[in-house]
Amino acid sequence: MTDSQGALAGKRERLVDGASKLLHHNGVAATTLADIAQAADVPLGNVYYYFKSKDELIRAVVAEHIEQVDTMLNTLDAIPAPADRLKALVRRWDHMREVIARYGCPFGTLACELDRRSDGLDLEAAGPIRLILDWSAAQIQHLSSADPHELAITLFAAVQGGALLANALRDPDIMSGIADLPTAQSAWF
Amino acid sequence: MTDSQGALAGKRERLVDGASKLLHHNGVAATTLADIAQAADVPLGNVYYYFKSKDELIRAVVAEHIEQVDTMLNTLDAIPAPADRLKALVRRWDHMREVIARYGCPFGTLACELDRRSDGLDLEAAGPIRLILDWSAAQIQHLSSADPHELAITLFAAVQGGALLANALRDPDIMSGIADLPTAQSAWF
DNA sequence: GTCTATAAGGCGATAGAC
DNA sequence: GTCTATCGCCTTATAGAC
């Protein structure tokens, strides 16, 4: 119950964690329930005791992402200066550069793939992105007289665009280049 | 033979054009050969006379994208000043902002979805992006003493990140905001 | 070259024993 | 609550008439 990664965690938790990883690495469409069940060491038929459909399992993954972002932003709030909080945010993506170069940003790629749907899931998948943008805008409000919403978008667009290019070109250094930008360093705040 | 969009174009051309649109709007996985055949007004079984598999049809779509980018860049080359060429490049994406807000950048989303594969198609899908980056770097070389490759990535990352956020938030104005940036305006070249 | 009919396989989802 | 067996559908791909 307490272990968030290992085999001792609850079955529901193992299913969500396994699905999260597989969706990121292989994409939504290529990931089957059989794959997820195997990764979580749960028999296929038992998945439906915890989730009534594949879509609902994906929804749980999105909710888990939102939870992770929320935790991350709360951690960043402990940093005294707002400008340093923003720099630390960008540094998080730089630290994930190897994974990003292979599989892209987990939030960005999932939003991109689910955005093509017209059930509610397309908008839900934007949740983590909305959270980060709103938080960033709040930090910027302390720093600049310019439009915080617009500056937040500029900042995170650089991160997401950098992640996309790093992934397409399989080049982790692109993420570092983005993190070193004056933009990301909040020199213009 | 000469019509590139209408029903008079050759079947192969209609198939590629229809597939290109459907892959952009619905994604690779959700698009079936039956959908493509119907959009192109070609019987399902006949598709296999022109393409030996779905993957090869997707490959043809990527090749078509590369062709389109090549044509676009040649057109931009007619603009006298390199700085104006770069601005015009970014403006192209701004002009597509409504489509981008609904379906994302055609090149970016396709690269993102195909990047999760390990056959050759993942790297081929990065072709349009590579072309644009190389061309941008060449323009920047006329303008700045800084690293042209890095500046080109900064510029196009802003465009691609903006497209991703515009799509996730369903907000076309984000694309305009990116186009108005000093970065995109090449103020720092 | 064109098209219909269908084969072959994989998937999400369910039934029902335990 | 757990798990096995399997159903029914959809998709890619092919066989073969025209």
Asked if strand C comes closer than 7 Å to B10 Cβ, the answer is no
Which residues of chain A does B174 touch, with a Cβ-Cβ cutoff of 8 Å?
A: 153, 157
Q: What is the DSSP letter of A1?
A: -
Per residue in A7-33, pLDDT tens?
668 999 999 999 999 999 999 999 999
- Quickly give A46 CA vs D5 C1' distance in Å: 13
- Quick one: pLDDT at residue A7? 67
- Quickly give A5 CA vs D5 C1' distance in Å: 31
- Quick one: pLDDT at residue B4? 52
* Residue in the block written with tokens 């209609």: B14
Q: pTM for this structure?
A: 0.96
pLDDT at B21 over 60: yes
Per residue in A57-86, pLDDT tens?
999 999 999 999 999 999 999 999 999 999
Exposed/middle/buried for A187, CB within 10 Å: 0-12, 13-18, 19+? exposed
Asked if residue A146 lies in contact with residue A183, where contact means CB atoms within 8 angstroms, the answer is no
Could you tell me which residues come within 8 angstroms of residue B87 by beta carbon, excluding any fewer than 6 positions away?
B184, B185, B186
Given A29, A103, A109, which is nearest B29 (Cβ)? Answer: A29
What are the Cα distances from residue A60, in Å, to A36, A43, A63, A125, B159? 13, 19, 5, 11, 31
| HEC per residue, chain B | CCCCCCCCCCHHHHHHHHHHHHHHHHCCCCCCHHHHHHHCCCCHHHHHHHCCCHHHHHHHHHHHHHHHHHHHHHHHCCCCCHHHHHHHHHHHHHHCHHHHHHHCCHHHHHHHHHCCCCCCHHHHCCHHHHHHHHHHHHHHHCCCCCCHHHHHHHHHHHHHHHHHHHHHHCCCHHHHHHHCCCCCCCCCC
- Quick one: pLDDT at residue B182? 85
Given A30, A160, A168, which is nearest B129 (Cβ)? Answer: A168
Which residues of chain A does B25 touch, with a Cβ-Cβ cutoff of 8 Å?
A: 116
Asked if residue B134 lies in contact with residue A142, where contact means CB atoms within 8 angstroms, the answer is no
Per residue in B31-86, pLDDT tens?
999 999 999 999 999 999 999 999 999 999 999 999 999 999 999 999 999 999 99
